[in-house]
Structure 1
């Protein structure tokens, strides 16, 4: 599997450009965590990062490009954790344990950066399901389902499981219905066990 966004066509980034990009993405993450996705504007990011607004536009093009880059940044961290990190999320644990850990880790991600995920999921529309980030998550969940002995149409089961982790739904459950991340995680585990066992 290739890392999210790596198609082999992107030129290598200079070290100073990579540092500047990281600085901007870190500042953008802080803004989202403090003010929600609506608080992330090009002006606010430039001010927070201590750079000119033109620098932000040159780097990301527009707010949509910035949101995509920020979500890609978050997704790459998550991808690294489930592909190469320690068990139970990473390799080395039984498939069922990895599935449970996958859901719980994703819920933590949504609790911390939910507005970003929600904005990206709503903004991408139908393209979300055809894109590389979703495709990688679906392939990973499908493989774990297969390894755990699940029966049925594994891609459909993977879509169903990933729908349980959709940011808009999880945020509704937390912010409107009052469920805790732990309760939602327990529900995820029960759901996964019913499918696999």
Structure 2
């Protein structure tokens, strides 16, 4: 049986909840302190509605991330499909896009890593980034194991590390992006491109 489309009012309520949760995580200096009660109050709905709709706090956080990532993922796919950039540049661009998203949404992403997912590597969005990187790295000369290399490179932009460098170490976003680009260039070796190459966002 085909799934019935979501009612307009239910869809509006869902978007209201996602927007409220997004705003709360963005404003909070302690992401784990944002509760389902806080989100329900901000969205003007009952807490039971949140649990029925999203299952639990982890499910709600995942839905917020998915809603924020969807336009970025579409833009990344289009950029990766465009002709003209080398595989090495595609790797740099993918990591830079992921880093920029984590800088802008570091509280939300940190909450996801703290949300009892057992491992951030099980998150759907992690699998997407890994798959895109793996495919690009497969085309870069000199990369021995594209799957492992993709994991290793993504580990350099974990949300908790990004938050620590930006919020605690007072590193600028542009400084962090430049450091990542130089690190990736070194990690991939000297087969092509120049150190620190990246596109401005």
The two structures have a TM-score, normalised by structure 2, of 0.79
Structural RMSD (CA): 2.5
**Count of residues in Structure 1 that have an aligned counterpart in Structure 2:** 184
Aligned to 1:45: 39
The two structures have a TM-score, normalised by structure 1, of 0.80
Between structure 1 and structure 2, the one with the greater Rg is: 2
Of 7, 29, 42, which residue of structure 1 is paired with 2:22? Answer: 29
Quick one: distance in 2 between partners of 1:103 and 1:151? 16
Q: 1:93-172 maps to which residues of 2 (within 5 A)? A: 93-94=84-85, 95-122=87-114, 123-126=116-119, 128-172=120-164
Q: Which runs of 5+ in 1 are unaligned?
A: 1-9
Q: What is the CA-CA distance between 1:149 and the residue it aligns to?
A: 2.8
Quick one: distance in 1 between partners of 2:44 and 2:135? 44
Matched, 1:20 2:13: yes
SS of residue matched to 1:125: coil
Query: Counting helix residues as a fraction of each chain, which structure ranks higher?
Result: 1
